[in-house]
Amino acid sequence: MKLTADCASTTAFFASACLALLASSCLTPPAARGIGKPSDPPQATAPVAPSFGDFTRTSPELFAKLRLGWNLGNSLDVPNGETAWGNPRATPELFAAIAKAGFALVRIPVTWAQRLGPAPSYVIDQSWLERVEEVVGYARAAGLYSIINLHHDGADGMRGVGWLSLKDANGKTTEENNAVVRAQFVAVWTQIAKYFANQGEELMFESMNEVHDGYGKADPRHIEIVNDLNQAFVNLVRASGGNNSKRHLIVPGYNTNIDETLKGFKLPTDSAKNRLILSVHCYDPYLYALMGQTHTWGRASPGRDDWGQEDYIVAQFDKLKSRYVDQGVPVVVGEYGATHQEGYEDYRRYYMEYVTKAAVDRGLVPVYWDNGGGGSGGESFALIDRNNHGVLHPKVMEAMLRAATSSYSLKDIALPAPAK
Helix axes 394-405, 345-361, angle to 10 degrees: 20
Question: Is 175 a residue of the active site?
Answer: no
User: 3-state SS string over 238-254?
Assistant: HCCCHHHHCCCEEEECH
Q: DSSP for 257-302?
A: -HHHHHHH--PPP-SSTT-EEEEEEE--SHHHHTT-SS---STTST
Helix axes 126-141, 92-101, angle to 10 degrees: 40
Of 201, 310, 335, 379, the active-site residue reads 335
Question: Is 93 a residue of the active site?
Answer: no
Relative to beta strand 276-282, strand 249-252 is parallel
Neighbour tally for 67: CB within 10 Å: 25
DSSP 3-state helix, strand, coil percentages of the chain (rounded to 5)? 40, 10, 50
Of 201, 206, 210, 260, the active-site residue reads 210
Helix ranges, 33-109 (H): 59-66, 92-101
Radius of gyration (C-alpha) of the chain in whole angstroms = 20
Look at residues 159, 233, 143 and name the one whose alpha carbon lies nearest to residue 192: 233
Contact 285, 339 (CB under 8 A): no
How far apart CA 352 and CA 341 sit, in angstroms, is: 13
Contact 107, 371 (CB under 8 A): no
Residue 409 neighbours by CB under 8 Å, 6+ apart: none
How far apart CA 142 and CA 294 sit, in angstroms, is: 37
Helix axes 126-141, 175-195, angle to 10 degrees: 60
Q: State residue 234 phi and psi, 5-degree precision.
A: -60, -45
Known catalytic residues are 210, 335
